[in-house]
Amino acid sequence: MDKLIENQFLDFTVAIPTYNGAKRLPQVLDFLLKQTGIEKLYWEIIIIDNNSHDNTNEVIKDYQKKYSQNICLRYFLEKEQGIPFARMRAISEARGEFVAFVDDDNLVASDWILQSYTFGKEHPQAGAWSGQIHGDFEVKPPENFERIQAFLAIRECGSNPYLFDAANLRLPPGAALVVRKQVWCENVPQRPTLRGRLSGILVSGDDYEALLHIHYGGWQIWYNPTMHTYHQIPHWRLERDYLLTLARGCGLCVFQLRLINTKNWQKPIVFVRTILGNLRRVLRHLIQYRGQLESNLIALFEMEFYLASMMSPFYSLKLYFRQFSVKK
């Protein structure tokens, strides 16, 4: 451990952004402390506390005392609210060549770090990579849930590795994602456009925003099926109100994501295409599920997403004029 602490540059950093995660963090840390096959790696865990009001700080202090001989566990308080800022802080504090973002409700398999590190070494053009994320449900999901499970950061895409289609916004979630620190620092802006929860809406897309910058910087984004994570899904995340709020938030960021790496003269075209393309999806969905939307939660979720995606150009304009008026 003394050698690990003295090392300025490590092989691997596990970064855990958390908000009021005192009850969830112990299990997450216990799974990380049971990693196998990494005896020759120098690695660390860093906790980014995003203004928790519970005893997260005390929980981490307790782990630091009990496991000081096994792993370097560091704690940081990030006062700017929002997971994009917590992740930015994690990147700035991380000492690993590779930085893995693990949410405080993610339980990783015992070989997760080994498989993550090995993949990064074997794929030098990979700027980011993610694996399989399985749902660990408190209650049984609704029928046909698999159609929308990706919105809850669940990805089960088979046993073959492949490149994500970043140009069409087919990307992994920010949970259980590994990036090269240097690649992130050279390509991802310090101030994100999408900043998480705004005005009570779960506006998403902040993890996609970072990945798109990495992609347009010339780096590959991979799916590595040998990395397994289990995402704990409490009952309230499967309730109607939460799901519909999530659908709207994921849709409202679509236009802003499509603007990344878009030239000024192309923006009006993207504006119109986003509206018309999603209008077509809305009309097709209405025809397919006519009279069923109120009773079919999954179809209703999809409709909310299409509608919000259609409105995302106007939402982007609203944010722009709000920021412009604040600057004046």
Q: Compute how many other C-beta atoms are within 10 angstroms of the C-beta atom of residue 161.
A: 16
- Mean of pLDDT values over 20-42: 96
Over the chain, what is the mean pLDDT?
92
User: What phi, psi does 180 have (nearest 5°)?
Assistant: -80, 125
Confidence of residue 319 (pLDDT cuts 50, 70, 90): confident
Q: Residue 68: which pLDDT band, with cuts at 50, 70 and 90?
A: confident
Q: Give me the mean pLDDT over the 312-327 stretch.
A: 74
Q: Check residue 43 and give its pLDDT.
A: 96
Give the pLDDT confidence score for residue 255 in this predicted structure: 96
Q: What pLDDT, on the 0 to 100 scale, is given for residue 67?
A: 83
d(CA 285, CA 239): 22
CATH number of 2-237: 3.90.550.10
Average pLDDT on 288-311 reads 96
CB 116 within 8 A of CB 35: no
As a whole number, mean pLDDT of residues 79-103 equals 96
Burial class (CB in 10 A: 0-12, 13-18, 19+), 270: middle
Global confidence as pTM = 0.92
Mean pLDDT of 33-58: 96
Per-residue confidence band for 322, with pLDDT thresholds at 50, 70 and 90? low
Give the pLDDT confidence score for residue 196 in this predicted structure: 60
* CA pair distance 286, 263, nearest whole angstrom: 34
What's the angle, vertex CA 188, arms to CA 9 and CA 259, rounded to 5?
165
pLDDT over threshold 90, residue 2: no
pLDDT digits (tens, 9 = 90+) for 269-298: 999 999 999 999 999 999 999 999 999 999
Q: How confident is the model at residue 327 (pLDDT cuts 50, 70, 90)?
A: low
Q: Residue 317's pLDDT band (boundaries 50, 70, 90)?
A: confident
pLDDT tens digits, 180-201 = 999 999 999 988 887 665 445 5
Strand ranges (DSSP E) for the chain? 10-18, 43-49, 72-77, 96-101, 106-108, 126-137, 162-163, 177-180, 220-233
Mean pLDDT over 254-273 rounds to 95
Q: Which two tokens stand for residue 286?
A: 């209405």
The predicted pLDDT at position 325 comes to 56
List pLDDT tens digits, range 108-136: 999 999 999 999 999 999 999 999 999 99
Assign 4 a pLDDT band (cuts: 50, 70, 90): very low
* pLDDT, tens digit, 9 for 90 and up, residues 192-246: 887 665 445 566 788 899 999 999 999 999 999 999 999 999 999 999 999 999 9
Question: With 90 as the cut, is the pLDDT of residue 306 above it?
Answer: yes
DSSP string, 34-93: T--S-TT--EEEEEEE-S-SSSHHHHHHHHHHHTTTT-EEEEEE--S-SHHHHHHHHHHH
pLDDT of residue 295: 94
Domain boundaries, the chain: 2-237, 242-327
- The reported pLDDT for the residue numbered 187 is 97
pLDDT at 28: 97
Q: Give the position of tokens 């053009």.
A: 125
DSSP state of 266: G
**Percent of the chain having pLDDT more than 70?**
92
The residues, ordered by sequence, that sit 6+ positions from 299 with a Cβ below 8 Å of its Cβ are: 285, 288, 289, 292, 293
Q: How many CB atoms lie within 10 A of CB 202?
A: 15
| Coil, strand or helix at 201 | strand
